[in-house]
Amino acid sequence: MTGEREPGAELLGRVFLGRVVEAGDEVGGRWVRQFGVGEVARRLRCGKDALPGVSANRWEGLVARARRAEPERDLEAARAVGARFVCPGDAEWPRQLDDLGDARPLGLWVRGRPNLRMWALRSVAVVGARACTEYGTHAAATLSCGLAERGWVVVSGGAYGIDGAAHRGALATHGATVAVLACGVDQSYPRGHTALIARIAEQGLVVGELPPGDHPTPSRFILRNRVIAALTRGTVVVEAACRSGSLATARAAQRLGRFTMGVPGPVTSALSAGVHELLRAEATLVTDATEVIELVGDMGELAPARRGPVLPRDLLPPAARTVLAALPGDRAAPAEEIALGARTTRDDAIARLYELRALGYVERHGDGWKLTRQAVISVQNGHRPC
């Protein structure tokens, strides 16, 4: 179903195969590549001329599933929730999914108004643990908020924990977000995210390769992750234990040549151990949206240099800062001693000291010079220049 036109044979064939062949099945993908959608569908329907690469038992199971497949009904169920089916070769098809080869989806069910292909061109995946910490939730939401504010699309899996925080962070700024589900796009999984997924469908996109009504299984979550990785320019893992499923997304991104990033956590946290393992390998450490964009963005989208707040003394001329740094913090000192510490002449030191007195940094004490009380406080707070 693309627009309001009648579905063609190719589309109907792909919807049919989506009911018969499991998502990510490379054998089925190879059949489509070698024989074409129409021929594969015909053989499965008749059940007599078995396709290569499967056992007799498995072929029998596929044929049994083919007898129950009703593509027109699936299209009608999708239409009822405002979803459409996007095929490879369609104008809306994200061409980067072709990098998956024979594991490429037969098509994607898309719920929401935006154009999936256009959104995917400038997208980043933000994934992580379901049982996350407060730190992880904050980091994911803040990162996603920053990406959305800069015009990037945040892609995640709609799950509890980091996924939900990522979606909410993007939505909070009225930004763009895509939920890639491991079930039909007419389903809400997990149930506790029913309202969130509905909001994503209204403000962004809900995407999945499973037909309407299908429910998730453990293997489907892993297979879903390859779509998240292929759809986006890069994947950021916020929190993940060593056996976290979100690491599968990062590894898929690495295999596909996408950027892989990790947000570091406490070294004592088991929920950050998987991220740290990624960072020890080929992943890039990131701490905020600007660093992510510097990596995955277009040429010239650079992160600002990291530095602390600009202090009044930072605005002093270099020579005056050097003299100021040469003053002892606990007593008055003669100009000769200050000049020696600043590696300048006595006359130059005196000239700079008078400049600093006018700005409130130093004061005269007899024949010596001393830091003012305000200057001493700033030194004690760690702001004295080196």
Spans of the chain, pLDDT less than 70: 1-6, 299-313, 376-386
In a domain, 58, yes or no: no
Answer with the one of 296, 327, 352 that is the final residue of a domain: 296
- What does the pLDDT look like over 144-195, one tens digit per residue? 999 999 999 999 999 999 999 999 999 999 999 999 999 999 998 899 999 9
What is the pLDDT at residue 212? Answer: 96
In a domain, 21, yes or no: no
Answer with the one of 240, 272, 296 that is the final residue of a domain: 296
Asked if residue 116 lies in contact with residue 223, where contact means CB atoms within 8 angstroms, the answer is no
What is the pLDDT at residue 300? Answer: 55
Q: List, in order, residues 6 or more apart from 51 with CB less than 8 Å away.
A: 31, 35, 40, 43, 44, 59
In a domain, 368, yes or no: yes
What is the pLDDT at residue 383? Answer: 47
In a domain, 273, yes or no: yes
Tally of domains within the chain? 2
Helix spans in the chain (H): 9-20, 26-35, 37-46, 56-68, 71-80, 116-120, 134-149, 162-172, 194-203, 218-231, 246-255, 273-280, 289-296, 318-326, 335-342, 346-358, 373-380
Kindly state whether residues 231 and 347 are assigned to the same domain: no
* Residue 342 lies in domain: 312-380
Kindly state whether residues 164 and 224 are assigned to the same domain: yes
In a domain, 46, yes or no: no
- Distance from the first to the final alpha carbon of the chain: 67
Backbone conformation region of residue 155, classed left if phi is above 0, alpha if psi is from -120 to 50, else beta: beta
Distance CA 46, CA 167 (A): 44
Kindly state whether residues 190 and 289 are assigned to the same domain: yes
CATH number at 373 reads 1.10.10.10
Nearest-5° Cα angle at 275, 270 to 281: 130
Answer with the one of 296, 325, 356 that is the final residue of a domain: 296
Sheet holding 284-285, edge to edge: 83-86, 108-111, 205-208, 177-180, 153-156, 123-127, 234-237, 259-262, 284-285
Kindly state whether residues 236 and 375 are assigned to the same domain: no
In a domain, 349, yes or no: yes
Kindly state whether residues 253 and 324 are assigned to the same domain: no
Kindly state whether residues 129 and 177 are assigned to the same domain: yes
What is the pLDDT at residue 245? Answer: 86
Kindly state whether residues 121 and 171 are assigned to the same domain: yes
Kindly state whether residues 247 and 123 are assigned to the same domain: yes
Distance CA 329, CA 382 (A): 12
Instruction: Identify which of 150, 152, 160 has the alpha carbon closest to the alpha carbon of residue 177.
Output: 152
Distance CA 305, CA 323 (A): 27
Kindly state whether residues 146 and 278 are assigned to the same domain: yes
Kindly state whether residues 140 and 287 are assigned to the same domain: yes
Kindly state whether residues 213 and 345 are assigned to the same domain: no
Q: Write the CA distances from 47 to 29, 36, 42, 87, integer angstroms.
A: 18, 17, 8, 25
> The tokens of 212 are what?
């309407």
In a domain, 48, yes or no: no
Backbone conformation region of residue 47, classed left if phi is above 0, alpha if psi is from -120 to 50, else beta: left
In a domain, 90, yes or no: no
Distance CA 377, CA 384 (A): 10
Kindly state whether residues 222 and 369 are assigned to the same domain: no
CATH number at 117 reads 3.40.50.450
